[in-house]
Chains A and B, each alone.
Chain A
Amino acid sequence: MGKTARHLRPLAALLGAALALSTTACGGATDASPAADAVDISGSISGQTINYWSMWKDGEPQQKVIATAISDFEKETGAKVSVQWQGRSNTEKLVPALNTNNVPDLVDGTLAKLAPVIGDTGQASPLTSVYSYELDGKTVSSVIPEKFTSNGVFKGEDGQPWMVPYSISSDGIWFDAAKHPELKAKPPATWDEFMEVLDKLKASGAAPIAADGDIAGYNSTWFVTALLRLKGAGSFKALAEDKSGAGWDDPAVLEAAQKVESLVKGGYLNSGYNASKFPAQQQLWANGDAALILNGSWTPTETGSYAAPGFEYSSFQFPAIGDKPASARVDFIGFAVPAKSKNQVPAQRLAAFLLDAKYQNALGTDAKVLPVRQDAPVDPAVASVKAAIDAAPATHLQNDGVTFPGYTEKVFFPRDDELFLGKTTAAEFVAKMKEAQIQYWKDNG
């Protein structure tokens, strides 16, 4: 006993010292973020250095375009850009960095990933000056289509935009136009026409729709888009926000769920879609074993290496249900500048620089993705998606922009999976969602 006590005392002293040491080390963490105001970014930035954490990895097509832009930027302005090609985990690394004073000056990512981390938490600088910056006589805000910005997705709580997009992604129902020229000539515009196409495909013996049922985000696109077709962009977010859960009693919600149910019950989905592992089903689709797949605008690049010879990528939009103007899904990839960055001016200038026509064209034709500028040309494989976005009167985000903590993964995805994988009916799905959502808001309200 005595021996233990004698050894405990010095240990306690050590513990105390260590605690004191570590708490002083973390002392800066609770500092309030500096007051953020828009800065004038027109002056010379020669000799200044910025630190950029990129969402791209060395060798990716987008990385090559951005690397070219950076080297031009350095030559033109005399500023220096130190880049870390971190890949998609850059936003996860950003979270702890934001609690220190050692932040990157520029980060990029999808709106869906940047918003929860830096946008909604008020940790990003307002980029108003970027939007008003002029490139070849045109302001940045004039080259970004107005329908992308009009619903305010880039605005923080202060009403200022904190993100500047340089690329977008979307979705569509993809098919091989070489094999199905009739779909390219006359894509189904309404749900009834869509069902006719499915019936014809089924009668011909082909599997109508392939789906990687293990990806909840793909499964949910069916229900969410059906609902948006019925009730317009923003209606799913409004539904999820409803603390009383009464929104789920709306007959239109049930109808959207029934559309999904009819695909499942009608046997239009490729057999085995509910027990396979990504990317098995999209491989099967690219091999020509199924006719259609609802997937993102990245489908041509993602499946290009294993597509059947002569595969000609084309797509049509999710068909209209009812008479609401059909919105196109548009998700954004772009830049944000942490409010704590000490190199605001050069960082914001680089964000503007990527909207120059040269790099926007390169994103469209070399990287084969969708640039944010409407006047930039794109690769033929994604031309059908671009045409649909250009024609759409409004846009919506993936899952209609719902990012309430845990709602998507714990409330919506599990129940939507059950519906899409054929384990529950539309009516059961609606009832379960209503109950779970009421509980969710009770716990998180």
Chain B
Amino acid sequence: MSLGLKEPRASKASPQNPASRKPASRKAPAQGRQPGSSIDVQRKKLLFPFVGPAFVLYTVLFIVPALGAVWISLHKWAGSGPMKFVGLDNYGRIFRDPLFLSSFGNTLLLLFVVGTAIFVLAFAMTLVLRDMAGKKVVRNVIFFPHLINALVFGVLAGFIFNPGGMVNSLLAPFGVTDPPKWLAQDNIFPLIMVTLVCTTTGYFTTILMAGVDRIPPYYYEDCALAGATAFQRLRYVILPLTWDVFGTCAVLWTISSVKIFEIVWVFGGSSGAGVPPTQSWTAAVYTYVNAFSGQSTPAYGAATASAVLSLALISVLVVLLRRAMRRDAVEF
């Protein structure tokens, strides 16, 4: 998370730096194909040794497998043995599959509904915590759930919500003899959504707080002198000055929410003893079940097709999000 915060700072420092790339790049188009300044030449020479190894590794380990996945998604394949080329059939099939559509719908629910809840809560907590005594302790406490393996929450859900579990035992003295069926198949996904809000809010609060903390105190003093209300202070000072942090957080959540898998698996899959109920599947779970459920012949073509679609979804959403969140960076 520190990465996301350091980058804007570094780029903001650059205008003051005499050796920064801005003046050089402005000259570049005018010079056309002729060699540029000595700095430009040096930079070009260093491109290969510096970028090359990382680029080759990245290509071999990420881009090639991703292209491989696209290739596999055009076939009917059990993971080993003969591959049969079927063109775009796998895509057509998963679009007709109501299960894929409902899984995809769940992914969108996580992305937007859980995402909105997380950011509203995280922002509210940031504002409350800013002036609170002992905020460092509180910050650690609310960050803590993010460190815990999702498996723990899956197992814990059993202890808490089983028919003879904690919640029902606590409700019994109040005369609740027929408590709701907490872990019924239809209730598992809402429970997962609540769990995700609880575990992820602290993480984003921590990042947003770091962004709010770097706002110089004299802006607040200015607000006080001008007689601004708390809302005006939020609207004209805090939001504009943390907008870039906010945007980074939104992208981080988009990417991670589309990949959410393990919490669904352990919540409903009885910690690995079976496949979770279809009502709680996300696109990632759909992908996994197609390839590795262990209950039937693997369908790698359908699995990779759904993975490729997820990747496409992330890419489109991230681009849209970057566009929607684009503002001129405020220097301070």
Q: Kindly supply a per-residue 1/0 record for chain B positions 205-237, scoring 1 wherever the CB is within 8 Å of any chain A CB and 0 otherwise.
A: 000000000000000000000000000000000
Inter-chain contacts of A399 with B (CB < 8 A):
295
B56-A409 in contact (CB<8A): no
B29-A271 in contact (CB<8A): no
Q: A122-B81, A217-B274, A280-B163 are in contact. Are A22 and B59 (CB under 8 A)?
A: yes
A91-B294 in contact (CB<8A): yes
B298-A271 in contact (CB<8A): no
A118-B80 in contact (CB<8A): yes
Q: A99-B80, A116-B298, A414-B278 are in contact. Are A271 and B163 (CB under 8 A)?
A: yes
CA distance A225 to B84 in the complex (A): 35
Inter-chain contacts of B63 with A (CB < 8 A):
15, 18
CB distance from A3 to the nearest CB of B (A): 5
Inter-chain contacts of B48 with A (CB < 8 A):
10, 14
CB distance from B216 to the nearest CB of A (A): 35
Q: A18-B59, A443-B93 are in contact. Are A275 and B32 (CB under 8 A)?
A: no
Inter-chain contacts of A278 with B (CB < 8 A):
270-271, 273-274
A11 to B, closest residue via Cβ: B55
A404-B277 in contact (CB<8A): no
Which one, B32, B158, B184, B296, contacts A409 given CB within 8 A? B296
Which one, A122, A214, A409, contacts B183 given CB within 8 A? A214
Instruction: Check B70 for interface membership: any CB of A closer than 8 A.
Output: no
A123-B80 in contact (CB<8A): yes
CA distance A10 to B187 in the complex (A): 54
CA distance A11 to B56 in the complex (A): 10
- Tell me the chain A residues, 192-238 only, with Cβ under 8 Å from chain B: 212, 214-217
Instruction: Check B6 for interface membership: any CB of A closer than 8 A.
Output: no
Instruction: Check A95 for interface membership: any CB of B closer than 8 A.
Output: yes
Which one, B25, B81, B82, B270, contacts A277 given CB within 8 A? B270
Instruction: Check A19 for interface membership: any CB of B closer than 8 A.
Output: yes
B184-A121 in contact (CB<8A): no
Of A2, A98, A402, chain B has the most CB atoms within 10 Å of the CB of A2
Instruction: Check A265 for interface membership: any CB of B closer than 8 A.
Output: no
CA distance A370 to B170 in the complex (A): 43
B81-A275 in contact (CB<8A): no
Inter-chain contacts of A406 with B (CB < 8 A):
289-290, 296, 299, 302
CB distance from A54 to the nearest CB of B (A): 17
CB distance from B46 to the nearest CB of A (A): 11
B29-A405 in contact (CB<8A): no
Inter-chain contacts of B270 with A (CB < 8 A):
212, 214-215, 277-279
CA distance A141 to B154 in the complex (A): 45
Inter-chain contacts of B96 with A (CB < 8 A):
439, 443
Instruction: Check A284 for interface membership: any CB of B closer than 8 A.
Output: yes
CA distance A405 to B60 in the complex (A): 30
B29 to A, closest residue via Cβ: A2
B162-A404 in contact (CB<8A): no
CB distance from A57 to the nearest CB of B (A): 14
Inter-chain contacts of A148 with B (CB < 8 A):
none
CA distance A438 to B67 in the complex (A): 33
A275-B293 in contact (CB<8A): no
Q: Kindly supply a per-residue 1/0 record for chain A positions 122-134, scoring 1 wherever the CB is within 8 Å of any chain B CB and 0 otherwise.
A: 1100000000000
Inter-chain contacts of B323 with A (CB < 8 A):
none
Instruction: Check A342 for interface membership: any CB of B closer than 8 A.
Output: no
B275-A19 in contact (CB<8A): no
Inter-chain contacts of A214 with B (CB < 8 A):
183, 185, 268, 270, 274, 277
CB distance from A283 to the nearest CB of B (A): 9
Instruction: Check B47 for interface membership: any CB of A closer than 8 A.
Output: yes
Number of interchain pairs (Cβ within 8 Å): 173
CA distance A11 to B55 in the complex (A): 8
Inter-chain contacts of A272 with B (CB < 8 A):
162-164, 181
Which one, B68, B184, B296, contacts A403 given CB within 8 A? B296
CB distance from B203 to the nearest CB of A (A): 26
Inter-chain contacts of B78 with A (CB < 8 A):
116-117, 120-121, 405
- Tell me the chain B residues, 263-303 only, with Cβ under 8 Å from chain A: 268, 270-271, 273-275, 277-278, 289-290, 292-299, 302
Instruction: Check A42 for interface membership: any CB of B closer than 8 A.
Output: no
- Tell me the chain B residues, 77-106 only, with Cβ under 8 Å from chain A: 78-82, 93, 96-97, 99
B183-A277 in contact (CB<8A): yes
CA distance A19 to B25 in the complex (A): 31
B300 to A, closest residue via Cβ: A95
CB distance from A43 to the nearest CB of B (A): 30
Q: Kindly supply a per-residue 1/0 record for chain A positions 9-29, scoring 1 wherever the CB is within 8 Å of any chain B CB and 0 otherwise.
A: 011001101110111001000
B59-A92 in contact (CB<8A): no
Q: Kindly supply a per-residue 1/0 record for chain B positions 7-39, scoring 1 wherever the CB is within 8 Å of any chain A CB and 0 otherwise.
A: 000000000000000000100110111000000
Inter-chain contacts of B81 with A (CB < 8 A):
33, 98, 121-123
CA distance A402 to B33 in the complex (A): 66
Instruction: Check A1 for interface membership: any CB of B closer than 8 A.
Output: yes
A405-B59 in contact (CB<8A): no
Inter-chain contacts of B274 with A (CB < 8 A):
214-217, 278
Instruction: Check A441 for interface membership: any CB of B closer than 8 A.
Output: no
CA distance A10 to B25 in the complex (A): 18
Q: Kindly supply a per-residue 1/0 record for chain A positions 357-393, scoring 1 wherever the CB is within 8 Å of any chain B CB and 0 otherwise.
A: 0000000000000000000000000000000000000
B29-A275 in contact (CB<8A): no
Instruction: Check B240 for interface membership: any CB of A closer than 8 A.
Output: no
A413-B181 in contact (CB<8A): no
Instruction: Check A276 for interface membership: any CB of B closer than 8 A.
Output: yes
Instruction: Check B74 for interface membership: any CB of A closer than 8 A.
Output: no
CA distance A307 to B319 in the complex (A): 57
Inter-chain contacts of B162 with A (CB < 8 A):
272, 276-277, 280
B97-A2 in contact (CB<8A): no
Q: Can you offer 8 A-B residue contacts whose CB atoms are under 8 A?
A: A3-B29, A14-B52, A19-B59, A215-B274, A272-B163, A280-B165, A406-B302, A443-B97
Residues of B within 8 A of A (CB): 25, 28-29, 31-33, 44, 47-48, 51-52, 55-56, 59-60, 63-64, 68, 78-82, 93, 96-97, 99, 157-158, 161-165, 181-185, 187, 268, 270-271, 273-275, 277-278, 289-290, 292-299, 302
Residues of A within 8 A of B (CB): 1-3, 6-7, 10-11, 14-15, 17-19, 21-23, 26, 33, 91-92, 95-96, 98-99, 112-113, 116-118, 120-123, 212, 214-217, 271-272, 274-280, 284, 399, 402-410, 413-414, 417, 421, 439, 443-444
Closest 4 CB pairs of A and B: A272-B163, A121-B81, A275-B181, A277-B158
Besides A118-B80, A276-B158, 18 more A-B contacts (Cβ < 8 Å) are: A2-B31, A18-B60, A21-B60, A33-B81, A92-B294, A95-B79, A99-B80, A121-B78, A122-B81, A272-B164, A272-B181, A274-B181, A280-B158, A284-B164, A403-B295, A404-B296, A405-B296, A406-B289
